[in-house]
């Protein structure tokens, strides 16, 4: 008997099916199980689409400005509620993490005119004359090809009045316009009820 293999049938008495036959027998499930499975799959698909859309939206550049600031292009702007001389305006902007507005093009000049409400009173901008040279607060020169030439003065400060750059003594009292970079939302921050402003 050495080397012989013996097989045994281990059926229980009264058992009509083998264990192999039992494994292949179809299990009957209620019909609503299939409906729940399909609805669940559809829900997951909708959720996936929403995640992709929101991620693309956030990556496209959702920009937020602080309250009372207005978004235009890639900058936030705010007209002061108080008046003061040019240095007070400069300091007021710096205290809010910003600087006096610098005009880079005619559209920006037009926009600042709009946020001032078309007033006939001038507003301080970030333009200063020192030793007969006009410079912005970031120390760049005034582009005289884009904006008309201001008179050469030893000392003076720039204002914007009705879309026109003007010179005033720096101790005059005016409102001012500040500018700053907007807060950029990252994809992980989107969805918490944040509202994104669009560029004007």
- What is the maximal distance between C-alpha atoms in the chain? 121
Domain 65-180, CATH class in plain words: alpha beta
Q: What is the mean pLDDT of residues 170-198?
A: 73
- Which H or E run includes 157? strand 155-161
Domain ranges for the chain, please list them.
65-180
Q: What is the pLDDT of residues 102-160, one digit of tens each?
A: 988 878 888 888 888 767 789 999 999 988 899 999 999 888 777 777 778 888 999 98
Work out the number of other CB atoms within 10 angstroms of the CB of residue 143.
12
Q: What is the C-alpha to C-alpha distance for residues 149 and 152, in angstroms, rounded to an integer?
A: 9
With 60 as the cut, is the pLDDT of residue 6 above it? yes
Q: Please state, in angstroms and as integers, the Cα–Cα distance from residue 38 to each residue in 44, 48, 194, following that order.
A: 10, 16, 32
Q: What is the pLDDT of residues 52-77, one digit of tens each?
A: 655 555 445 588 999 999 998 889 99
Q: How far apart are CA 18 and CA 126, in angstroms?
A: 91
DSSP assignment string, 90-116: HHHHHTTT-EE----SHHHHHHHHHHT
Residue 199: what pLDDT?
40
Return the pLDDT at 158: 93
């Amino acid at each position: 008997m050495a080397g012989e293999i013996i097989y045994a049938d281990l059926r229980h008495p009264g058992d009509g099916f083998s264990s192999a036959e039992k494994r292949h027998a179809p299990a009957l499930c209620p019909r609503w199980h299939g409906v729940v499975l399909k609805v669940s799959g559809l829900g997951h698909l909708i959720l996936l689409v929403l995640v992709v859309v929101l991620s693309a939206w956030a990556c496209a550049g959702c920009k937020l400005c602080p309250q009372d600031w207005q978004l235009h292009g890639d900058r936030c702007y705010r007209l002061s509620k108080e008046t003061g001389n040019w240095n007070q305006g400069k300091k007021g902007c710096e205290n809010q993490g910003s600087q006096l507005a610098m005009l880079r093009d005619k559209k920006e000049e037009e926009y600042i005119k709009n946020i001032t409400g078309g007033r006939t009173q001038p507003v301080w901008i970030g333009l200063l004359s020192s030793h007969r040279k006009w410079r912005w607060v970031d120390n760049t020169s005034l582009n005289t090809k884009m904006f008309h030439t201001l008179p050469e003065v030893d000392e003076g400060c720039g204002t914007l009045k009705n879309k026109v750059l003007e010179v005033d003594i720096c101790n005059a009292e005016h409102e001012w316009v500040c500018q700053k970079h907007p807060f950029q939302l990252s994809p992980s921050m989107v969805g918490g009820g944040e509202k994104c402003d669009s560029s004007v």
